[in-house]
Chain A
Amino acid sequence: MRQAQDRLGLRLVLLVALVGFAAGAAAQLDQHHALNDVPCQACHGAAEPPTAVATEQCLGCHGPLEDLGALTEKVSPTNPHSTPHGATFAECDLCHRVHGPSENFCAQCHDFKFTVP
């Protein structure tokens, strides 16, 4: 139950973030994580120097992918979290950068004007 509430909370935060970024706010995701009491080690562990974070790690808190897909179901012209190209095109870090500006990976082939938080 507690976990479910946490998850709901996270999704609400995400939703707020989505709306916020769509409105043109610009902050990096590391700041966003820090503000929500998620320290570096929560994602990177104790490794020095820190290594890249796998999609499974992101989905551990934000997932599963289907739930993210439900959050962005209404995004036009298509749902960014529901790709016909398979799991390898659903790696979080193709679009979302935590320590730098995110990018619209789909745009390399499609005219999808997504604003990526």
Chain B
Amino acid sequence: MSNKQTHRFQALTRRQLLKAGGASMLGGLALGAAGLSRQARAEAMPDKMPAKWDEEVDVVVVGSGFAGLAAAHEAAKAGASVALLEKMRTPGGNSIISGGVIAAAGSPLQAKQGIKDSPDSLYEDMLKAGLYLNQPELARIVADQSVETVQWTIDELGVEYSGLSHMGGHAVPRSYSVASGSGAGIIEPQLARLKELAVEPRTGMLLKRLLRDDDGRVKGVIVHRGFRHPDLESGTPVAIKARRAVVMASGGFGADPVFRALQDPRLGGDLDTTNQPGATAEALRAALHAGCILVQPSWIQLGPWTSPDERGFGMAPHFVQGVTASYGLWVDTRTGKRFVNELADRKTRADAILAAGNKTIAFADAKGYGKGTMDTSQQRLGRMKRSGALMEYGSLEEMARAHDIPVSELKATVKAFNDSVDAGKDSEFGRYMAANVDKIDTPPYYVMRLSPKIHHTMGGCAINSRAQALDVLSNQPIPGLYVAGEASGGVHGASRLGSCAYADCLTFGRIAGRNAAAQERWA
């Protein structure tokens, strides 16, 4: 991201505000307002309501990823008119390019495979990975409703799944894999169902301001129509009245180096990210300006399964997580030894890779590749090789030479693991051993280098179990404002488990949409 862009993340200019509201919206401090009340009032800075609204709807939804589409869906189903706003040129946010796995604890697929599981177990895993910083009430909702949420995607959206994956930090395989291999397999059916409900995402619509009246209620938004990322001054201001509520489903800030650096100075600059370029913080800034509470923003997750040999998310996670975490090994190239449980949670693994100065590889043999991937045509293998991310070697010796690994140590590591396979138990790291895990002994050997990339921002706006945003002064719900998905904070604590974002976004998106539609009209 360019410096030019980062400078634009400064607060709105006065000129911009005048352009947007017709008059100054900077309203003075409402010193005369009543003290803290159960209904949070906008005490610090109420906005001046526009003299004229350009549009009116019941519910404004900001963002068109899983959470935004789920919110729009429930709101429209409840009979609300919906304005579904997306600032980028394509809908779907990070969701549409994501890896295609959703956690469901105690699911029909697990029952079929004889895997014992329960919402309690998922909840425990979420809290353990989250270093017990998760808001228990919120994590509980995601865990308890996980099966229902997946079932909803099947019954209501017609989403197709191809099986179960074992994501790091989960006690057992419990993540439904989207058949098409990515989040598009859910976003597309969501968009199709919304179209039937006469709701279509409006692209190029940038949220500039949440308009909060002096009675404390959020009553609408100022957006820029015709926004062209990343020029925050582009587009024309439009005032949209939200007669019932606004749902903020605007995502995280993984692609916003300035905001990242505010939260964790080590993570600014040019660090690569798996996120789409629109994952920036200006909507979050608007929410904070309206009186939301920013919680746990310093917990920025690095995905441990990415490669320095390609850009962004790339194809590496399919191999590193899908194949090597269960059927291969990760080794420190300086020692030839394993350095982490390859199925540990993301933070544990990313920290371990960073501690090894990124001098690490993930590898599997030909058998492991076959077991861990659904790439039966080997089409993906070819693409990964052509992109330069995946390397292939005819023997362990050749692999060791190419990556400067002490060969005898590497062989000892493989032998120790193969002994563990015989014993049915990983003696070194206690890694979960699926029944079909096999010895590593069949060339060719496939290798990727590891380099963690910014993946998920756990922090965001504080919400309650109804997805209502909490007010920074009163700690009470802000009337007319809901937050769901990555824009909210607290569900995942210090580190989100793989496949729990889908569950979080869809579950809380639906909650927010239902409650937004049920909110009493103010006009």
Of B176-184, B241-249, B405-413, B425-433, the one contacting chain A is B176-184
- Alpha-carbon distance between A76 and B387 when the two chains are bound, in angstroms: 10
**A110→B311 contact, CB < 8 A:** yes
Q: How far is the CB of B31 from chain A (nearest CB, A)?
A: 46
Contact A109 B89 (CB under 8 A): no
Interface residues on A, range: 10 to 19
B387 touches A77 (CB 8 A): yes
Is there contact, CB below 8 Å, between B90 and A84? no
Tell me the residues in window 83-98 of chain B with beta carbons closer than 8 Å to chain A beta carbons: 89-92, 96-97
Q: Which residues in A have their C-beta under 8 angstroms from that of B144?
A: none
Q: Is the contact region of chain A dominated by helix, strand, or loop, or is it mixed? A: loop
Q: Describe B's contact surface by its main secondary structure.
A: loop
CB contacts (< 8 Å) of A88 on chain B: these are: 90-92, 96, 188, 191
- Chain B residue at smallest Cβ distance from A93: B89
B163 within 8 A of A: no
- Contact residues in A for B97 (Cβ distance below 8 Å): 85, 109
Q: In this complex, what residue of A is CB-closest to B184?
A: A86
A89 closest partner in B (C-beta): B90
In the complex, residue of chain A having the shortest beta-carbon distance to the beta carbon of B278? A108
Q: For B386, list chain A residues within 8 Å (CB).
A: 76-77
Cβ of B312 and Cβ of A85 under 8 Å apart? no
A residues in contact with B184, CB < 8 Å: 84-86, 89
| Distance from B389 Cβ to chain A, minimum over Cβ atoms (Å) | 11
Q: Write the chain B residue with the least CB distance to A78.
A: B383
Contacts of A77 in B (CB 8 A): 383, 386-387
A84 contact from B92, B181, B191, B311, Cβ within 8 A: B181
Decide if A86 touches B310 in the complex (CB within 8 Å).
no
Measured CA separation A91–B204 after assembly (Å): 14
Check if A35 is an interface residue, CB within 8 A of chain B. no
Determine if B300 is an interface residue (Cβ-Cβ < 8 Å). no
Q: Decide yes or no whether A94 CB sits under 8 A from chain B.
A: yes
Question: Can you list, as one digit per residue, whether each of B186-220 has a CB less than 8 Å from chain A (1) or not (0)?
Answer: 01100100000000000000000000000000000
Q: Is B153 an interface residue (CB 8 A)?
A: no
Question: Which residues, 57 to 96 on B, are CB-close (under 8 Å) to A?
Answer: 89-92, 96
CB-defined contacts of B188 to chain A, threshold 8 Å: 86-88
* A109 lies within 8 A of B312 (CB): yes
Residues of chain A within 8 A of B310, CB atoms compared: 111
Closest to B96 in A: A85
Least CB distance from A6 to B in Å reads: 31
- Check B387–A84 contact: CB distance below 8 A: no
* A12 nearest CB across to chain B (Å): 29
Interface 0/1 of A69-89, CB less than 8 Å to B: 000000011100000111111
Q: Is B276 an interface residue (CB 8 A)?
A: yes
> Closest CB of chain A to B246's CB: distance in Å?
24
Q: Is the CB–CB distance between A108 and B191 below 8 Å?
A: no
- For the complex of A and B, the 7 pairs showing the least CB-CB separation, nearest first, are A86-B184, A86-B188, A85-B184, A88-B90, A111-B311, A108-B277, A109-B312
6 contacts between A and B (CB under 8 A): A86-B188, A88-B90, A88-B188, A89-B184, A108-B276, A109-B277
